[in-house]
Amino acid sequence: MEGRPMSSDSLLSLKIVHRVGVLTLDVAFELTQPWTVLFGPSGSGKTTVMRAIAGFVKPNTGRISRGESVLMDRQTGVFVPAHLRPVRSAGQTARLFPHMTVKENLLFGVGAASSSGSGEIADEVIAMFRLQGFTERMPKELSGGERERVSAARAVISAATFSGPERACLLLDEPFAGLDSAVRDQLLLELRAWVAQREIPVLSVTHDVGEAFQLGAEVIKIAAGKIVAQGPVGEVLAGERRRLMEQLGQL
């Protein structure tokens, strides 16, 4: 199911400057589509952007807003703590509570004031992430890929049950990197349709050209800490796709 463009009051806007080691991150963009891909090579600043949106990094200067809510503004001193932001995220490393079962981990992020439909949402996400047979296991009993799926599923459930004036934005910083490519591709397609139906905006990170084209999403291309292009994947990544096809001997 294709999602419709977000209304103007649902956009996430970002304009920041931040020094990370030898890299000066100087980026500005606005999310306008249901799913946006932040694309770029390792070390280009993708993860720092995601952490700034989530509230785990306080940029040196700039402003971040989600709808009518200002999440960070260095000029006025506003800085909303991560747990209070309408943002939910999953990163490359699965961070699960070791003393909780898989199901307890998954339900930990359910919105405190969420509707009675939260149980149905959790069941749908558990099925989508193929976790039905793992709910009573402990994290130490899972493989690396299984832990990744649980971590990402928890973020999805939390975003879908978030109770606030804006829908939560879902940030995915390559949480499926350790999965088999066939499993990852199928999961991404199902997840894309699921979040679009619920109008949950997604910003995901990848340096995989094929994944970006598979999602058919808006692409923000970043290099050396700066945004170099933003637009439809077929336009922004046309050169990368051609080079990939040439390498595969298909052109």
Question: Is the Cβ–Cβ distance between 22 and 213 less than 8 Å?
Answer: no
Kindly report the average pLDDT of the chain as a whole number. Answer: 89
C-alpha distance from residue 164 to each of 35, 45, 94, 121, 197 (Å):
20, 29, 26, 17, 18
Mean pLDDT, to the nearest integer, of 212-239? 93
**Total number of domains in the chain:** 2
**173 and 237 assigned to the same domain:** yes
Distance, C-alpha 194 to centroid of its chain: 14
> Based on the domain organization, do 129 and 200 belong to the same domain?
no
Q: Output the domain CATH number for residue 172.
A: 3.40.50.300
**What's the confidence (pLDDT) of residue 111?**
65
Residues 174 and 56 both lie in one domain: yes
Domain assignment present for 91: no
Note down the domain range covering 139. 96-163
Question: Are 1 and 120 in the same domain?
Answer: no
Q: Could you give the CA distance from residue 247 to residue 126 in angstroms, rounded to a whole number?
A: 38
Contact 88, 158 (CB under 8 A): yes
> Residue 75 domain-assigned?
yes
Q: Cα separation of 95 and 206, whole Å? A: 20
Residue 26: CB atoms within 10 Å: 17
In a domain, 251, yes or no: yes
Structure tokens of 94? Answer: 């699965």
The pTM of the full predicted model, rounded to 2 decimals, is 0.89
By CB neighbour count within 10 A (0-12 exposed, 13-18 middle, 19+ buried), where does 84 fall? exposed
Q: Which tens digits make up the pLDDT trace of 55-95?
A: 999 999 999 998 888 999 999 999 999 999 999 999 888 88
pLDDT band (50, 70, 90) for residue 245: confident
Statement to judge: residues 4 and 79 lie in one domain: yes
116 shares its domain with 237 = no
- Beta strand residue intervals within the chain, DSSP E: 12-20, 23-31, 35-39, 61-66, 69-73, 78-79, 87-90, 169-173, 202-206, 218-223, 226-232
